[in-house]
Amino acid sequence: MKDDKDFQKGSYSQRNVRFGVREHAMSAICNGISAFGGFIPFCSTFLNFIGYAYGAVILSGLSMEGVLYIFTHDSIYLGEDGPTHQPIEKYSTCRATPNLNFFRPADSNETLAAYIFAIRSRKTPTVMSLTRQNLPNLEGSSVENALKGGYIIHNTESPQLILISTGSEVSVCVAAAKKHGNIRVVSVPCWELFDQQTLEYRKSVLPDGVPVLSVEAAATLGWERYAHVSYGINRYGLSGPGNDLQKFFGFLPEQILEKSEKVIEWAKGRTFCSLLDRPF
């Protein structure tokens, strides 16, 4: 906060804490501030370094502390820093952690929704997964819809395929869908929040009879809860310019369109039920 100074010895009223490069201590201190009360603490680093902080992040969930983890540089598009900085498996880690909200917004509307949701969640910590690169503001996005956790961001009258995605890949899916004409795109910035919606609403987003392809530049583990087919990165990343890596790993609009057409062809003659109908 630019209008405040640093918290330090003899200056305890200040609100900025310079934690240094020590992710576990940073997160643990935020737990302590939250437990003390009166403040909503947040801390920030690259998403990949949640690996160092993870013990304290788990404690946030266990202790029901509503800490905001504002983590950035969330994918392969980080580029030249290479696989040590590219959180291929971290989405799955966060989504598998009980009492933790993982929010990966696709644009400014969804980012605002993530902040609103996180500030309201006083008994549950939130990990916000934000990009390094700029993203376009999407025509079909809104704060209201993003607060449902998942929604239709691009639609067509009779979809042959549903692309379901998060974060920076949503705009890529929308661009691919516009080239095809019969593809619906669903943005799911927060699985945990989407799963809390009524079955009727969720099936209006992911109905029976339409195959679903998930697209996310990370491990595909977990997408089987929504998608019949998944495209992602089940290996470590690479070092190189972000645009080159996007092409190498197959996340350009024309590459997603090609994969979509293959799924549409594969789906012919098959019956698809919504994967949301589960007994528990």
Query: What domain count does the chain have?
Result: 1
Assess if residue 17 is contained within a domain: no
Angle between helices 23-36 and 50-62 (to 10 degrees): 20
Assess if residue 2 is contained within a domain: no
Assess if residue 114 is contained within a domain: yes
Assess if residue 9 is contained within a domain: no
Confidence (pTM): 0.93
Assess if residue 274 is contained within a domain: no
Question: In angstroms, what CA-CA distances link 101 with 10, 57, 69?
Answer: 36, 11, 10
Assess if residue 166 is contained within a domain: yes
Please give the residue range of the domain that contains residue 70: 23-267
Assess if residue 218 is contained within a domain: yes
What pLDDT shows up at residue 106?
98
Active site residues: 23
What is the residue-level pLDDT of the chain in tens, covering all 280 positions? 888 888 888 888 888 888 887 899 999 999 999 999 999 999 999 999 999 999 999 999 999 999 999 999 999 998 888 999 999 999 999 999 999 999 999 999 999 999 999 999 999 999 999 999 999 999 999 999 999 999 999 999 899 999 999 999 999 999 999 999 999 999 999 999 999 999 999 999 999 999 999 999 999 999 999 999 999 999 999 999 999 999 999 999 999 999 999 999 999 999 999 999 888 8
The CATH number given to whatever domain includes residue 188 is 3.40.50.970
HEC per residue, 124-170: CCEEEECCCCCCCCCCCCCHHHHCCCCEEEECCCCCCEEEEECCHHH
